[in-house]
Copies of this chain bind each other. A is one copy, B any other.
Amino acid sequence: MGANMARRLVAGGHRVVTYDLDATAVATSTENGSEGVTSLEELVSCLPSPRAVWMMLPIGQPTEDTIAALAPLLSPGDILLDGGNANYKDSIRRAREMSGRGIEYIDVGISGGIWGLAHGFCLMVGGPADAVKRMEPAFRTLAPAEDVGYCHFGPSGAGHYVKMVHNGVEYALMQSYAEGFELLAAKEEFDLDLAAVAETWSHGSVVRSWLLELTAAALKDDPGLESLQAFVEDSGEGRWTVQESVDLAVPIPAITAALQQRFRSRQDGPLGARLLAALRQQFGGHAVRRSGD
C-alpha cells in the first residue's frame, strides 16, 4: 500500500523520499518518481525541516523498532505519521513518547487496499490539530477527492480507533454477503447464477456496495469459487474490535460472529463438536461417525 500511496503523492506534485529495508521496494518506488534512500539516516538528512516522515509498516515490533531508530534522528517540530493498522492504545502511547521529544505524532488509519491508487484512499486521522493541518496537502492528494474521504477525528489514537471499528464493520459486512450467497447456493432447485445475483444487486438495490462489486468480480472469475479453500485469515483489527466491545460492554453480535466464523474456518474437526456427538451418544444412544469412517 505504501508504494501506491507514494505514487499517488508524486502524481499529485509532492516530493517523496522512500526508504525500505527491502532495496527492491525502494527501486520500484523510484520508478514512479519518488527518490530512494538506503537508510533512515539518509532519509532524515535529505528532508528539509520541519520533516514529515510517514511509516507504512507491519504492526507490532517493526513499527516499534522503526520509531526507536527514528526518534533520535528527528528534530522538534518534525511530524511522524503511522499509516499502519496499529492498535489505537499503542498510538496513544507513542504519541505521548514522541511528544516528550517535541515530535508531533499522527495516527492515520487508511482504507482502500490495492485499489487506493486509482480510487484514492480513505484516511482516518488522529493527533494534534496543528500538525494535522500541516499535513493536509498530502491528505487531500491521497484521498479520493479534494475535500472528501479524509477527516481529523480527534486526539492521538482517534484515527486508529476509527480504523479499528471500520475493520470490524468490514468483517461483518463480508460475513453478511457470505451468508447470503451460501443460502443462494444451497437452494439447489433454483440453480442460481451467483455472479449474476451479485452483479444485479450492485445496481439499484439497497445492498449495493463496493464489497458487493468485488463479490461480483470474484464470482465472475470463478463462479463456484472452486479454486479456493474455505480458510480465512484475520489480521488483528477484528480481534481488537471484539476486545474493545468487551471492555466497553457494548454487544456486537454480528461483528463477533464474523470473527468467530473466520476462526471456525481454520478448525478441522474441533473437539467441541466431537464432544457434542459424544454426548448425544451418551444420553440418547444416537449414532456417531467414527474417525476413519
A contact set with B: CB distance below 8 Å = 111-116, 119-124, 126, 143-145, 148-151, 153-155, 157-158, 161-162, 165-166, 168-170, 172-187, 190-193, 196-197, 199-212, 214-215, 217-219, 222, 224-233, 235, 239, 241-267, 269-291, 293
Count chain B CB atoms within 10 A of each CB in A111, A233, A254, A288 and give the residue with the most.
Answer: A254
A275–B177 CB distance below 8 A: yes
Q: Which of B201, B202, B232 contacts A276 (CB 8 A)?
A: B232
User: Given B179, B191, B228, B266, which contacts A169 in the complex, CB threshold below 8 Å?
Assistant: B179
Q: Provide the bound-state CA to CA distance between A181 and B293, in Å.
A: 24
- Tell me, in angstroms, the Cα distance from A226 to B290 when the chains sit together: 9
- 8 Å CB contact of A275 from B178, B209, B256, B270: B178
Task: Give chain A's interface secondary structure class.
Answer: helix
Q: Does B176 contact A280, Cβ atoms closer than 8 Å?
A: no
Number of copies: 4
| CB-contact partner of A143 in B176, B203, B241, B265, under 8 A | B203
**B283 and A206 contact, CB distance less than 8 A:** yes
Q: Tell whether A246 pairs with B259 under 8 Å between CB atoms, given A113-B285, A176-B254, A218-B282.
A: yes
A58–chain B nearest beta-carbon distance, Å: 13
Alpha-carbon gap, A255 to B191, bound state (A): 22
Taking CB atoms, residues of chain B closer than 8 Å to A279 are: 174, 177, 211, 214-215, 218
- Contact (A149, B232) CB under 8 Å given A179-B254, A180-B255, A225-B274: no
Cα distance, A199 to B151, chains bound together (Å)? 9
User: Can you report 20 A-B residue pairs in the complex whose CB atoms are below 8 A from each other?
Assistant: A113-B285, A122-B203, A149-B204, A158-B190, A162-B192, A172-B172, A178-B275, A179-B250, A179-B251, A181-B271, A182-B250, A182-B252, A214-B282, A217-B282, A227-B290, A231-B273, A233-B286, A250-B263, A254-B254, A264-B264
